Each structure stands twice: as C-alpha cells, then as structure tokens.
Chains A and B, each alone.
Chain A
C-alpha cells in the first residue's frame, strides 16, 4: 500500500541553529520535501529567533537544542510562557545530538512538540513534521506548564487504574 506524502508547499518554517551547515542541511531537506525557499527563515540563536517571530509567523519551528545565548529549550519555554505571543502554540521540533532521557524530558517540560535525535535523516525529520501536521495534540495549561499534552493518546473510555501524580495526592505532595 502506498503511503502518501504531505504537501508542504504552503507551510512556513523557521530554522534555528547556530551552525550554518546544520541550517543548510535542514533547509535542503525542507526544500526537497516541497517547501519553497520563500517559506523558510533562519536564525542563529533562540534570541534572534524570538526577535524574528515579531514579524515572521512560521507554521513550524525547527530548533537546535545547543546554542549560545538562548538555547532551544529556553527558546521554547520563553515562547510558551508568553500568553500574548501569537506563536505561542506553534509546533516546535527540536534537534539534538543529546538523546539522554533527561534532555528529552527537559524539552518536553519546556513545551517542545517533537524531538529529533541527530544525526538527522530525511525520513526522521519528515516523520516528525508529519506527526505535528497530521496528529496535532491538544495543549495543556497549568500554573506551571503550557505546551502540547505530554500524553499523546488520551483514551476517554479508559477504565484502568489512574497513576498520574495529580490522581495520587500522596505522590504529588510527598511529605
């Protein structure tokens, strides 16, 4: 059975990485996937990206984790925590050679939508883009978090034991 590709021509992207060659790789892949050059902007840091977002409204940001000034996680947190920012709910795809669970967890807790472990491949990047396009998640707002729901699949008919910390006061508030 043929798996059909998504038509990315109308989407606008922001590519954020301090390494010029890395930005070039991502932009090459995007262009080959059908994204016109006019629909791509780039920034060398999270700080520059935040400035760019004042005028440019991308549909998706592809952001490196390790950058000087403002890294990818702080960029995501800054964006998600600004209630007035028009791009607050923009999908953020993070790229990182660090695949440790604590890094992935930090990214998730900062509101990152998807995480791609470097070295990237054409298919690994496409899969994550397709995920944010075809299977968007609901957003969750709590006093301490704003971002995509960390639970990808919510089964409303779930009847099993409830194990989330909020369901277990003894665990949520350890004495």
Chain B
C-alpha cells in the first residue's frame, strides 16, 4: 500500500471539560476523497480543527497527527497551512466585508497568474464578481470562494468541512462536481452529511461514534450496506433528526434535503 498522506493516532480533544474525542485513529489515503462521517455532535469538525491547530482556547489536545513525516500538533496553524494543509471551514467563513478579489488576494502566497487561471476555470463566477463584496454573494458562491481561495496555493491535503451545508440542491451538485475535479489532483479529507454527495465522491470512509472511530473502510461498501449505515449514522430511522441525510442513501443529489434553502 502507498503511504497515507495524513496519519491520526490516538487523538483526544477535551474542550471545557467535555471529552469530545477519545483516542481517534485513522489515515487518509494519498489520493481521492476520504470522508469523515458520523451523527451530529460526534466530533467531526473538532477532528478537522484539531488537525489544523484551531482547537478553541482552553481546549486540550493529545495524540499524534502526521502529514508525511511532519508532526502537526505542536505547530501554529499558519505554518501548517503554508506547509500544504488547505482548510475549507464549516460555514465557509469568507470575509464578508472584503471583495471577492480581496478574499483571493489575502490567500495568495506566490500569486502566480496560473493559479488564478486554474481557480477561475473552476469558478468563472468568481472572476465575474471579483469587485463584489463577499458578504453579498449567495451561499453557493461563498462556498466556491472558500474553496477557490484555498486552491490558489499548492496543497498536499485539503480539509473540507460540510461544503454543501445549507445549499440548494442544484448548488449541492455543482459543489460536489467541483470537489470531484479537485480531488483528482489533491487528496481530500471531507466532512459531509449529505450521503448522496458522499456516494458520488468518497472512496474511503471513517465513521465516528461517541468520540471514537466506529468503522473504517470502503465508502461505497458502507453506503450499500443499509443496516450498517442505519446503525452508524442513524440514516433512515424514523426520528430523522439530523439534517440533510433524512433521505435514503441511494437518493440523488437533486432530491437530497428538499427542505433546505440556499443561505442567501
């Protein structure tokens, strides 16, 4: 087997006295999309944030996280990102008061035009709206911007947190399509609730439950085993309490989460 791009070993995170992660271990393959699954509040976002060094103040992190031969946990976030760890946060977090162009300019490091061409080829909308304030973009456009600014630089691994959350079904498809193309050149660790998107993108899956890894393996295999998805993710259960995955795993992106509106 090829060396994993990211190795997480025995990762524990405690925030404000709550043991959110209790010894999580998994690896991310050097190609394709690895998806991190689990019910709401299980620690998926906490995992990504711990990897990129953004655990909130007062939180304790233990364990080992390696990207290649590099140990990540002791290093400040900006060094990690400069070392090739791209991070697309939950809720997009574009700078609402800055223009699209400024949002991109902030992210650029060597700023070659080639990188801009690559991003604008993926997201022509960003080029057209470059003078518009990011806060006035639609949720889907903001998501494109959040992904686009990370792609301005070369990354060894992308961490992407719930990119389709709160987006209209049509936009969900677009975002998924973009991520699929991105994943052809750089490995992605994805947190995603929409199982249709997961089915479309993911090769490997890691399922968290109660702060621990409950299952790892082939994503498609997981999704085709209905009983397994039901027990691990609560999918298809009568409660239907967690958002965006109330439909059967086989549902297509266009019908997933019909109640969800575009954020803007």
Q: Are A and B bound to each other?
A: no
Query: A residues bordering B, Cβ < 8 Å?
Result: none
